[in-house]
Amino acid sequence: DVKVTQSSRYLVKRTGEKVFLECVQDMDHENMFWYRQDPGLGLRLIYFSYDVKMKEKGDIPEGYSVSREKKERFSLILESASTNQTSMYLCASSLLQVQETQYFGPGTRLLVL
């Protein structure tokens, strides 16, 4: 079974803090994705990566950066957390080919105070 894990289930941070969310997958997938999910807005893609050290912007990259130093690990960084970044963050991975299934991690619920 594909397993995607995320470093924290719940996280509370203060405005202005630098926040790291980490995602690890164990199926040798090329693609990894970061989404945020908010009520009424659905799943929105923040960034994705199709290879080590490669990254592509999604729909809402502002205020976020990512890092992919190893194939199995994809980190989402909030350089200076703001209250409007309070959300559920979901990581996913998939094989490279088009139409491949994305497998999701359990999510991190982030609260920025």
Partner 1 sequence: QKEVEQNSGPLSVPEGAIASLNCTYSDRGSQSFFWYRQYSGKSPELIMFIYSNGDKEDGRFTAQLNKASQYVSLLIRDSQPSDSATYLCAVPWGGYSTLTFGKGTMLLVSP
**Terminal Cα distance for the chain, rounded:** 37
Positions 2 through 41 that interact with partner 1 (CB under 8 A): 31, 33, 40-41
Binding status of residue 83 toward partner 1 by CB under 8 A: no
The tokens describing 113, both together, are 């105070």
Provide the 8-state DSSP code for 60: -
Place of tokens 């202005």: 16
Binding status of residue 64 toward partner 1 by CB under 8 A: no
Least distance to partner 1, CB of residue 96, Å: 7
CA-CA distances (angstroms) from residue 112 to 6, 25, 43?
18, 26, 19
Among 48, 55, 78, 87, binds partner 1 (CB under 8 A): 48
Binding-site ranges for partner 1 (CB under 8 A) = 31, 33, 40-43, 45, 48, 50, 56, 58-59, 90, 94-107
